[in-house]
């Protein structure tokens, strides 16, 4: 079967919590969580109950009318995350699109940016989805080439470099409506910015009257050991985008949060979605947030994440030539491998071996393995994964290296069409 993806060859048949079974009954531990969409664990009973109960009552009203479920979700989201308003969408990319439109509208109405000159600044290496506006900011040539013309009105800046951002704001600040960023870059390989970066960004956005737009689609809803990853530096963005785990891996739900002075720049009739805020998705999202709170999944992600990184660092000590770095926050973690020591194997090969040992993980770029299990994962299961990685490096990798033909496997660097930098483009970003 040919498709636009490059999956690990395993077929999901059913799943529960952190476990997945294939049609033959083989059991695996999930260390991807559908790119952090399944924070609550697969098929959580409370979420399933909410889904079924709501499906039997009402699934869709469209926004032409009201329904009695979305207001409950809206109240929950605004009070939980501390914003005055929420705009519901479906997929993450739609949430990002919504935030970009909102920022442009705000830029014209509130900042008096001249017509059609609004700029959005985003970060090199970012991933915000696959729509045309969103790929127009991508540094991944595979995501952009052949899809032109891309949208104008974007500038790029290095992620984690507050000085570079300040320079752009100083030069073009009067035209800049928003700065869009991931608090931790997930697809880029779990890249954590230097301490103080988010605070510096907050200060710069306030100083230059630029909307600070946090894409928390992958990092939000408890994944990093905080409800939002921006809480790691106690900052409050002007706009927050949520997705993925808001729907607990059951139904697509995304949401854009902002205060009235920003959100009300979009007037009735100017933006919408047939399915946004539908009662079925709303019921699921309410249950998803309930589960996060009732099961203490935020704290759990923090504790388990620490435990997991300690285990992984022990593996790193044992294979210090192969594992370059272990990094992460909460249960969003990555192991970066040394390309030369792996040669001629790749992170993808390591993931294939992990699969054979019952662990499902996915590479991002040639040398990085993201490890992001559901937040209900147990200590023992984390230990199982750490041991599997150790076994793969000790027992499987030497065999692989002997078997694999020595085709040139040095990382392929390309000049990014967007920012002109050298990037490792074998991103394997399948989302
Ligand atoms: C940070 C971030 N933003 C946006 C998206 C896009 O979400 P979706 O695939 O639901 O459109 C993703 C998906 O991985 C993501 O990680």
Give one DSSP letter per residue of 342-374, joined into a string: HTT--HHHHHHHHHHTTEE-EEETTTEEEE---
Task: Count the Cβ atoms, other than its own, within 10 Å of residue 388.
Answer: 22
214 lines ligand 1 (CB under 6 A): no
223 lines ligand 1 (CB under 6 A): no
**Is 431 strand, coil or helix?**
coil
Cβ-based neighbours of 398, under 8 Å, separated by 6 or more: none
What is the per-residue burial (b if ≥16 Cβ within 10 Å, else e) of 283-320? bbbbbbbbbbeebebbebbbebbeebbebbeebbeebe
Cβ-based neighbours of 110, under 8 Å, separated by 6 or more: 261, 262, 265
Is-catalytic flag, 167?
no
Is-catalytic flag, 127?
yes
If residue 57 lies in a helix (H) or strand (E), which one and from where to where?
A: helix 45-57
Q: Answer yes or no: are the C-beta atoms of 144 and 135 closer than 8 Å.
A: yes
431 lines ligand 1 (CB under 6 A): yes
Which of 128, 132, 253 has the most ligand 1 atoms within 8 A of CB, as the residue to mutate? 128
DSSP string of 265-311?
Answer: TSPTTSS--SSTT-HHHHHHHHHHHHHHHHTTHHHHHHHHHHHHHHH
- List the Cα angle 147/153/157 in 5-degree steps: 95
Q: Alpha carbon of 72 to those of 60, 77, 114, 287, 367: distances in Å? A: 15, 9, 38, 11, 44
Is-catalytic flag, 417?
no
Strands (E), 1-109: 14-16, 19-21, 27-30, 85-89
Q: Answer yes or no: are the C-beta atoms of 416 and 429 closer than 8 Å.
A: no
Confidence (pLDDT) at 4: 64
Catalytic residue among 69, 156, 226, 244: 244
First to last CA, the chain: 18
Confidence (pLDDT) at 419: 77
Q: Which atom of ligand 1 is nearest to the CA of 187?
A: 16
**What is the distance in A from the centroid of ligand 1 to the CA of 65?**
29
225 lines ligand 1 (CB under 6 A): no
CATH for 45-295 (1.20.870.10, 3.50.50.60, 3.40.50.2300, 3.40.640.10): 3.40.640.10
What is the per-residue burial (b if ≥16 Cβ within 10 Å, else e) of 49-64? ebbeebeeeeeeeebe
Which of 34, 90, 93 has the most ligand 1 atoms within 8 A of CB, as the residue to mutate? 93
What is the value of pTM for the model shown? 0.96
Q: Alpha carbon of 353 to those of 146, 320, 331: distances in Å? A: 34, 19, 22
CA distance 315 to 312: 5
CA distance 105 to 102: 5
Radius of gyration in angstroms for the set of CA atoms belonging to the chain, rounded to a whole number: 22
Q: Alpha carbon of 180 to those of 174, 176, 205, 326: distances in Å? A: 16, 11, 11, 26
Q: Domain segments of the chain: what residues?
A: 14-36+297-401, 45-295
Q: Which atom of ligand 1 is nearest to the CA of 129?
A: 6
Instruction: Write the secondary structure of 142-202 as one string of H (helix), E (strand) and C (coil).
Output: HHHCCCCCCCCCEEEECCCCHHHHHHHHHHHHHHEEEEEECCCECCCCCECCCCCHHHHHH
What is the per-residue burial (b if ≥16 Cβ within 10 Å, else e) of 260-281? eebbebbeeeebebebbbbbbb
At which residue do the structure tokens 């203490």 appear?
296
Residues of the chain with pLDDT under 50: 425
Q: Which fold has domain 14-36+297-401?
A: 3.90.1150
Confidence (pLDDT) at 345: 94
Task: Count the Cβ atoms, other than its own, within 10 Å of residue 171.
Answer: 11
If residue 254 lies in a helix (H) or strand (E), which one and from where to where?
A: strand 254-258
- DSSP for residue 17: B
211 lines ligand 1 (CB under 6 A): no
């Amino acid at each position: 079967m040919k498709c636009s993806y490059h999956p690990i060859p395993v077929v999901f048949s059913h799943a529960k919590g952190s476990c997945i079974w294939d049609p033959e009954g083989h059991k695996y531990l999930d260390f991807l969580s559908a790119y952090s969409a399944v924070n609550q664990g697969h098929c959580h009973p409370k979420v399933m109950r909410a889904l079924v109960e709501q499906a039997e009552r009402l699934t869709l009203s469209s926004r032409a009318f009201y329904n009695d479920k979305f207001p409950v979700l809206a109240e929950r989201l605004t009070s939980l995350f501390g914003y005055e308003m929420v705009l519901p969408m479906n997929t993450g990319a739609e949430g990002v699109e919504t935030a970009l439109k909102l920022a442009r509208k705000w830029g014209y109405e509130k900042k008096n940016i001249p017509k059609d000159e609004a700029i959005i600044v985003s970060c090199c290496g970012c991933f915000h989805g696959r729509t045309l506006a969103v790929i127009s900011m991508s540094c991944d040539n595979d995501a952009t080439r052949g899809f032109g013309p891309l949208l104008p009105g974007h500038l790029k800046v290095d992620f984690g470099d507050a000085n570079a951002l300040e320079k752009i704001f100083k030069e073009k600040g009067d035209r800049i409506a928003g700065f869009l960023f991931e608090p931790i870059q997930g697809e880029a390989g779990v890249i954590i910015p230097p301490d103080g970066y988010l605070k510096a960004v907050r200060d710069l956005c306030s100083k230059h009257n630029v909307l600070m737009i946090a894409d928390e689609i992958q990092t939000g809803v408890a994944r990093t050991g905080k409800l939002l990853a921006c809480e790691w530096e106690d900052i409050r963005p002007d706009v927050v985008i949520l997705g993925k785990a808001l729907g607990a891996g059951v139904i697509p739900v995304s949401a854009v949060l902002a205060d009235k002075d920003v959100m009300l720049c979009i007037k009735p009739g100017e933006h919408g979605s047939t399915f946004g805020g539908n009662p079925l998705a709303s019921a699921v999202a309410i249950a998803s947030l309930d589960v996060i709170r009732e099961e203490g999944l935020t704290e759990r992600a923090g504790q388990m994440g620490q435990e997991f990184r300690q285990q992984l660092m022990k593996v790193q000590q044992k294979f210090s030539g192969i594992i370059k770095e272990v990094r992460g926050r909460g249960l969003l973690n990555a192991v970066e491998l040394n390309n030369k020591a792996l040669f001629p194997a790749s992170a993808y090969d390591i993931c294939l071996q992990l699969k054979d040992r019952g662990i499902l993980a996915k590479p991002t770029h040639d040398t990085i393995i993201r490890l992001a299990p559901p937040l209900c994962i147990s200590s023992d299961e984390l230990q199982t994964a750490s041991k599997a990685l150790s076994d793969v490096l000790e027992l499987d990798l030497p065999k692989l290296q002997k078997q694999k033909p020595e085709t040139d496997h040095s990382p392929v660097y390309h000049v990014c069409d967007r920012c002109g930098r050298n990037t490792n483009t074998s991103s394997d970003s399948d989302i």
